[in-house]
A and B are shown apart, each in its own frame.
Chain A
Amino acid sequence: MTAPVKALMDQLARLGRSGVGVLEHLGRAHLLLLSILGGLGDLVRRPRLLLIQLFSVGVLSALIVAVSGTFVGMVLGLQGYYILSQFGAEQTLGVMVAASLVRELGPVVAALLFAGRAGSALTAEIGLMKATEQLSGLEMMAVDPIKRILTPRFAAGIISMPLLAAMFSALGVMGGYFVGVGLLGVDDGAFWSQMQAKIDTYDDVLNGVIKSLVFGLVCTWIALFQGYDADPTSVGVSRATTRTVVHSSLAVLGLDFILTALMFGE
Chain B
Amino acid sequence: MGTEKNLVTIKGLHYSRGDKVIFDGVDIEIPRGGITAIMGPSGTGKTTLLKLIGGQLRPAAGTIHVDGEDVHRLSSSELYKLRIKMGMLFQTGALLTDISVFDNVAYPLREHTNLPESMIRKLVLLKLEAVGLRGVWKQMPNQLSGGMARRVALARAIALDPMMIMYDEPFTGQDPISMGVLIELIRALNDASGLTSVIVSHDVEETASIADLVYVIANGRVVECGGSKEILGSSNAWTRQFMRGLADGPVPFHQDAPPLVEDLLGGGQ
Contacts and interface: CB of A to CB of B under 8 A. Distances in A.
A31 to B, nearest CB: 13
Given A139-B56, A140-B54, A140-B56, A134 B97 contact: yes
A143 interface: yes
Interface of B: 51, 54, 56, 80-81, 83-84, 86-88, 90-92, 94-97, 107-108, 111-112, 153, 156
Contacts of B84: 142
B242 to A, nearest CB: 26
Contacts of A137: 88, 90, 94-96, 153
Contacts of B108: 141-143
Interface residues of A, number: 12
A138 B54 CA distance: 12
Nearest to A144: B80
Given A140-B88, A141-B108, A142-B84, 8 more contacts: A132-B92, A134-B95, A140-B56, A140-B83, A140-B87, A141-B83, A142-B81, A143-B108
Smallest CB-CB A-B distances: 3 pairs: A137-B94, A133-B94, A142-B83
Contacts of B88: 137, 140
A142 B92 contact: no
Interface of A: 132-134, 136-144
A133 B111 contact: no
A133 B92 contact: yes
A133 B83 contact: no
Contact of B56 (A134, A136, A144): A136
Given A141-B108, A142-B111, A143-B111, A133 B90 contact: yes
A133 B168 CA distance: 12
Contacts of A133: 90-92, 94
Contacts of B80: 142, 144
Contacts of A134: 94-97
User: Which among A132, A138, A141 has the greatest number of chain B C-beta atoms within 10 A?
Assistant: A141
B199 to A, nearest CB: 16
B83 A139 contact: yes
Contacts of B51: 136
A138 B87 CA distance: 11
B80 to A, nearest CB: 4
Nearest to B83: A142
Nearest to A138: B96
Contacts of B86: 140
Contact of B111 (A139, A140, A141): A141
A142 B157 CA distance: 11
26 contacts: A132-B92, A133-B90, A133-B94, A134-B94, A134-B95, A134-B96, A134-B97, A136-B51, A136-B90, A136-B94, A137-B88, A137-B90, A137-B153, A138-B96, A139-B56, A139-B83, A140-B83, A140-B87, A140-B88, A140-B90, A141-B83, A142-B81, A142-B108, A142-B112, A143-B111, A144-B80
